[in-house]
Amino acid sequence: MAERLTKSAARNVFYGGTIFFFVVFVALVAQSHSYIVTKSSNDDKLTADVKAGKLVWEEHSCINCHTIMGEGAYFAPELSNVWVRYGGREDPEGARQALKAWFESQPTGIPGRRQMPQFNLSEEEMDNLIDFLRWTSKVDTQGWPPNKAG
């Protein structure tokens, strides 16, 4: 290490630089926050049902098997686009019924296949959860995932 760099100079570089980068980061995050709320996520469509659906999602910790927007466990399929995969864009009612039928038929018991637990969701919980997944599928995620497989 260069002898010219004194310890107090190194300290000043560290604290000064850290504060600089943190301020830049906070500014970008503040801008992103406003971008999410006003542009990318249909925040105005964040209804009570969607919010309740997110709570169902959290209560059963779906994220510790599935991913959503690519984050979570990698044990079960990506769900940010499950609404699209089930054809929700073309036939919303059909997709809703198909998803409900799927929840109700778990666990499948198929040999050698990963098992999703039976969560015994009420009709309302299923509707809310599906509303949440539909809302999520409409967030502008810069074109991710690359295809329907998620």
Cβ 125 to another protein, closest distance in Å?
Answer: 13
Residues 87-116: x where in contact with another protein by CB under 8 A, - otherwise, as a string: --------------------x---xxxxx-
* Separation CA 60–CA 49 (nearest Å): 17
**57 binds another protein, rule: CB under 8 A:** yes
**74 binds another protein, rule: CB under 8 A:** yes
- Which residue in this structure is represented by tokens 């810069």? 142
User: Among residue numbers 116 through 135, which ones bind another protein (CB under 8 A)?
Assistant: 117, 132, 135
Smallest CA-to-CA distance from 100 within 89, 92, 111 is with 92
Specify whether the CB–CB gap between 76 and 68 falls below 8 A: no
**45 binds another protein, rule: CB under 8 A:** no
